[in-house]
Amino acid sequence: MDLRKLIKEQFKLILNEGKYDLISGLIVDAIWIHIKDSKEDYNNNPEENDVLFYKQHIKFKNLEFDLQTEINRVESEDFAFNVDGASDVDFIAIKIVINPIQEELLYNKLNAVLQDTIRHEIEHITQIKGGISTKPQRPDITPLEVREMIKSDPSRTYEYFLLPEEIPAMVYGMYRQAKTSKLPITYIFNDYLDYFVETEKTITPEQKQEIINVWTKYAEKHLPKSIL
């Protein structure tokens, strides 16, 4: 065994684990400014609860993209918050819907989910060909028509989580959430997929376990510290 080569490979893995941590954290910090500013506006004029859009250009080392953040507040007795992310060539959109009644109690969990979502979408903009942030070694994106067919058919949800481009995006995003929450990554996997088993009922417990097995294998290879 070449010890020097082994040490070099392990050092490279450790560097890659935190490769986009700084930019993810800075972006989330910027989003928090929007959340808190809009919360103050909402408190002053709750009847004028418009959906708010914030746009900014992000440039950090080898990443460059436009970020759009949408914030909406919906009062509800059984709803906490939801965060959705989407990306295209050098563009990331984050949509936040939050219940203002219990808003401040949700901030810790919301922060962890935002860290996950931003890291997830950063991974995607490095995959999409032809962008400023594209990395040639990233897996090709599944054709849009195939992705749309899978997403439009609840019985195919299982396939979506195992798309070549979704495996790294899911794992890197949830690893970011795991570090923020100080929880094992497998706990984050389980918690995330339980929603699709128990609430949406779009994947079976057996499919959930297979997805976790694939994600865990990827994490063991690319994020060895995540399984400790």
pLDDT in tens, 117-158: 999 999 999 999 889 999 888 888 899 899 999 999 999 999
Question: What is the SS3 assignment for 62-82?
Answer: CEEEEEEEEEEECCCCCCCEE
Tally of domains in the chain: 2
pLDDT exceeding 70 applies to what percent of the chain?
A: 91
Does the residue 188 lie in any domain?
yes
Structure-block tokens of residue 90: 């050098």
Does the residue 114 lie in any domain?
no
Does the residue 90 lie in any domain?
yes
**Residue 148 forms beta bridges with which residues?**
none
* Residue at which a domain ends, from 106, 131, 150: 106
Question: Model pTM greater than 0.85?
Answer: yes
Decide if 132 contacts 65 (C-beta within 8 A). yes
Does the residue 151 lie in any domain?
yes
Cα separation values, 151 from 157, 187, 189, Å = 7, 25, 20
Does the residue 80 lie in any domain?
yes
DSSP string of 190-214, one letter each residue: HHHHHIIIIIS--S-HHHHHHHHHH
pLDDT digits (tens, 9 = 90+) for 21-51: 999 999 999 999 999 999 998 988 888 778 9
Decide if 163 contacts 142 (C-beta within 8 A). yes
Residues 146 and 69 in one domain: no
Does the residue 111 lie in any domain?
no
Does the residue 91 lie in any domain?
yes
Q: Which domain holds residue 74?
A: 13-106
